[in-house]
Chains A and B, each alone.
Chain A
C-alpha cells in the first residue's frame, strides 16, 4: 500500500497512475481479509494494533485516490500532470468523501471566504 501510494499519489499525480493504485488497493483489501495476527497477548500487542491500523488505512487510502481522480485541476499538494493548471471556475470547492455501498463516494461543499481572498501561489 505504502509503495503504491508513494508511487502514484505523492505530489505529482495522473489518471493512469491513480487508477493503478486503486486496483492495487482493491487487491490488498481482499488479502487483508485473511491477515494473521501472530501475537495473541493482551499487553502492548503492537502486532494486533498494526493489524487493526492496516485495516483502517485500507479504508482511508481509496478515499484519497477517488477524490484525487475526481479533482481535475492542480492546486496545493495536488499537481496533476494531466491537468497542470488551477481551475477556480470549476474546482474552487471542497471535496467531501464518505463511505458508500461499494466504496468512497464524492460530494462537494462550498468554500467560505472570509478575510483573505484565495489566490494562486506564484513563486
Chain B
C-alpha cells in the first residue's frame, strides 16, 4: 500500500523554528499502523524525525499524537483506516502541550496536574488491623479509570485547556475520580470530602464543557468526561452546593421536573444565584440586547402534556437510586 505521511515538524535548533509540513511517500504493509509507517520513515528515510514510542501495542502510552486532526495512539491506528484524500495521513504532535521537537511534546504540565490531585490513597478513618478489605463490587467501577496509560490524548484535544491552561484537565480529573470513588479513600463512608472540596474550586470539575473530546480521544475507554460528571454529583451529594455549576445542574433538573422542558429565563439567574446582583448585572446588557431583537424565550413557560408522568418518573427513579 502506497501512502503519504504528512508530518508536522518543528526543530528548535535551526534558524527558522516555525512548524512546517513534510511529506514522506512510502510503501507499507496493508495492515500497518501509523506508527509502523513513522518508524519506517525514521529508520529508512529520515533519521532526523523525532517521535516517542515504545511498546507498539497501546500499553505504554508513548505515541499519542494527532492523526488527521484528532488525538490517538499511532500504534492503535490502522494506516488503511486513516487514509484521507490522495492517500494522505496527517500527523501532528499532541495539542495543549509545548513541542520539544517534531512529534515529541513536553509533558511537564501534564504531570504537574496529575500530582496536583494527589494521586494516592488518603484514608481518614481508623487504620484497620490487617488489610483494607473492600468488596469486589465496590471496586469494579474503577476498572475503567485504572486502565489509563497516561498517554495525554485526552489532554491534547481538551477544548477547555486550549483556552485556559490552568484547567486541571481530563487526565488529572480522571485520576482524581480513581480516588474519590475508591471506598478506602476519605472518611469511614468512603467519602473523599477534602478532595471534593478542592476539585469543586475554579479550574476543577465545573470547568469542563462536556464536549466529549476526551471520551472520543481516549484509546483505553477511560471516558474522563464521564468521571468528571460523576464527581460533580459526588460533590453535590457531599454538600457542596455553592457553585454556579451545582446551582445550574439543580435548577436545570428542577425545571425539567416541574415543566418537562427547560425554562431558560429562570436558569441563568438561578445558576448565578438569585442574590448575586453583580453576576446578574453582568448579563443585563446581553439580556437587553436579546430582548430588543426578540431573541428571548416566551415569558410564560408552558408545561408539556403528561407532565405528571415526568414528575412521577423523577420521584420513582430518585427512590430507586436511594
Contact = CB atoms under 8 A, between A and B. Distances in A.
A86 B261 CA distance: 77
A37 B47 contact: yes
B13 A42 contact: yes
Interface string A24-57: 0000000000000111011111110000000000
Interface in B8-22: 11-13
A37 B46 CA distance: 11
Contact of B51 (A38, A39, A41, A46): A46
A117 B85 CA distance: 65
Main secondary structure of the interface of A (DSSP, over half): loop
Nearest to A47: B47
B166 to A, nearest CB: 27
Nearest to A51: B47
Interface residues of A, number: 10
Contacts, number: 30
Interface centre among A37, A41, A46, A47 (most CB of B within 10 A): A46
A37 B43 CA distance: 11
Contacts of A38: 46-48
A44 B100 contact: yes
Contacts of A43: 11-13, 50, 100-101
B104 A39 contact: no
B42 A47 contact: yes
Contacts of B50: 39, 43-46
A47 B50 CA distance: 8
Nearest to B12: A43
A43 B103 CA distance: 12
B48 A47 contact: yes
Given A46-B42, A47-B42, A41 B47 contact: no
A120 B132 CA distance: 37
Given A44-B100, A46-B42, A47-B42, A39 B13 contact: no
A39 B47 CA distance: 6
A42 B50 CA distance: 11
A60 to B, nearest CB: 19
Nearest to A45: B50
Nearest to B102: A44
A111 B140 CA distance: 42
B42 A41 contact: no
24 contacts: A38-B46, A38-B47, A38-B48, A39-B47, A39-B50, A41-B11, A41-B13, A41-B101, A43-B12, A43-B13, A43-B50, A43-B100, A43-B101, A44-B50, A44-B100, A44-B101, A44-B102, A44-B104, A45-B50, A46-B42, A46-B50, A46-B51, A47-B42, A47-B47
Interface of B: 11-13, 42, 46-48, 50-51, 100-102, 104
Given A44-B50, A46-B51, 8 more contacts: A37-B47, A41-B11, A41-B101, A43-B13, A43-B50, A46-B42, A47-B47, A47-B48
- Closest 7 A/B residue pairs (Cβ): A38-B47, A47-B47, A39-B48, A44-B101, A44-B50, A44-B104, A43-B101
